[in-house]
Amino acid sequence: MKRLPVNRLSSRTSSAIIWIVLLTLPLWMRAVGSYTELGTQVVVLALAAMALNFLLGFTGTLSFGHAAYFGLGAYGAAMTIKYLVPSTPLAILVGMAAGTIAAMIIGALIVKLRGVYFAMVTIAFGQVFYFITFRWNTVTGGDDGLSGWHRIPLNLGFTTIDIEHDGKAFYYFVLLCFALSVGVMAFLLRSPFGRTLLAIRENERRARFLGIPIERHLWLSFVISCLFASVAGALYALLNNFTDPRALYWGQSGNFVIMAVLGGMRSFWGPLIGAAIFVVLQDYVSSHTENWMSFVGLFFVLVVLFFPRGVLGIIRRRTMR
């Protein structure tokens, strides 16, 4: 298998193909018997999985609690529109701030932990947020979730884009947020800072003795990762015009990990492929049987057993040999 240099995250060809598919998606989604919202869902969950993978695939640290920041983003956005200001961009910013601030505090408490201990504590903190949203009925709507609000059309001054009713317009709005987010992540990963994260992933002891303050860099990676997970959460709430405590449940964190590993956590676009497979399987299989998760699970096990580098790893091996 030919290997990409560390500075290159993905081949130009694969990036070009992915952008063409994403940009044209609403044009052919119906033709293949599907609907635009499904595409929007793929892009939103792909952002969450790629955000998780910033930490998992490129810093070598597993978080099992990213749903907490995803959910904080969702509740931040929903509560902004419901209680404060009817503005979609502001809702996203508030959701992002909520997730990021929480990540800054929790990150500082856990960066000394490693491996399974880190993962366990991220679950524990995630569940704290889950129970808060679950119990605090008056503010969060409790188990029923937060409804009775909807995303607001974008007012650009000279014109208004109706992302509320026009599914395609909302798709492209989400795609723009996605592009900005993954653009920033790719930019960071190619920088000297990004290389220190790869160094930590590859050999923490060596990285430490090369003068990299491991805890500080791990904290930064965690916060950046959670920041984009909370953007994804905010978009998810806007997509559904609704959010509930399941967005923060640790099962949701597990889904992000499954997407990342399924698609290939060592490749930049892997989690996007994983998210697409996950969402499409869920959509297709769940219309035939309630037990769709067992099919996702079976597929996951097969991939991990036979293709440990994920789906994108298989494709890359085929094409680059």
Partner 1 sequence: MSLLDVQNVSRHFGSLVAVNGVSLAVERGELRAVIGPNGAGKTTFFNLISGFFPPTSGRIVFDGVDVTQLPVHERVVMGMARTFQITEIFPEFSVRENLRIPVEVAAGYRLRPWMSHTDDGEMRARVVELMEMGGLTDKADRLVGELPHGDQRATEIMMALALKPRLLLLDEPTAGMGDQETYDITRLIRRLHKDQGLTIVLIEHDMRVIFHLADRIMVLAEGAVLAEGTPDQIANDERVQAAYLGKAA
In the bound complex, what is the minimum distance in angstroms from residue 220's beta carbon to partner 1? 8
Segment interacting with partner 1, rule: CB under 8 A, options 85-93, 101-109, 213-221, 312-320: 213-221
Nearest to 293 by CA among 37, 301, 126: 301
When asked if residue 5 is in the footprint of partner 1 (CB under 8 A), the reply is yes
Helix, strand or coil, per DSSP, at residue 203? coil
User: Which residues are CB-neighbours of 115 under 8 A, at least 6 positions away?
Assistant: 62
For residues 139 and 208, give the distance between their C-alpha atoms in angstroms, rounded to a whole number: 45
- Interaction of residue 195 with partner 1, rule CB under 8 A: yes
Phi (first) and psi of residue 216, to 5 degrees? -65, -45
| Residues 118-157 close enough to bind partner 1 by CB under 8 A | none
Which of 27, 85, 105, 210 is close enough to bind partner 1 by CB under 8 A?
210
User: Is residue 6 part of the contact set for partner 1 (CB under 8 A)?
Assistant: yes
- Which of 192, 287, 288, 306 lies at the binding interface for partner 1 (CB under 8 A)? 192
Greatest Cα pair distance, the chain, in angstroms, is: 59
Which of 137, 191, 291, 294 is close enough to bind partner 1 by CB under 8 A? 191
Total residues contacting partner 1 by CB under 8 A comes to: 28
Query: Near partner 1 by CB under 8 A, which window of 99-107, 119-127, 211-219, 289-297?
Result: 211-219
User: Should residue 321 be labelled a site residue for partner 1 when binding is judged by CB under 8 A?
Assistant: no
Residue 320 sits in the site that holds partner 1 (CB under 8 A):
no
Task: Identify the residue among 62, 188, 281, 315 touching partner 1 (CB under 8 A).
Answer: 188
- Cα–Cα distance for residue pair 263/304, rounded to 1 Å: 10
Q: How many CB atoms lie within 10 A of CB 217?
A: 18
Sign of torsion, CA 151 152 153 155? Answer: negative
24 binds partner 1 (CB under 8 A): no
Q: Work out whether 111 is an interface residue with partner 1 (CB under 8 A).
A: no
Tell me the C-alpha distance between 52 and 271, whole Å: 9
Q: Which of residues 218-257 bind partner 1 (CB under 8 A)?
A: 220
CB of 309 to partner 1, least distance (A): 13
Q: Which of 24, 160, 203, 319 binds partner 1 (CB under 8 A)?
A: 203
Per DSSP, the residues of 23-54 read HHHHHHTTTTT--HHHHHHHHHHHHHHHHHHH
Distance CA 47, CA 54 (A): 11
For binding to partner 1 (CB under 8 A), which residues are involved? 3, 5-7, 187-188, 191-196, 198-199, 202-203, 205-214, 217, 220
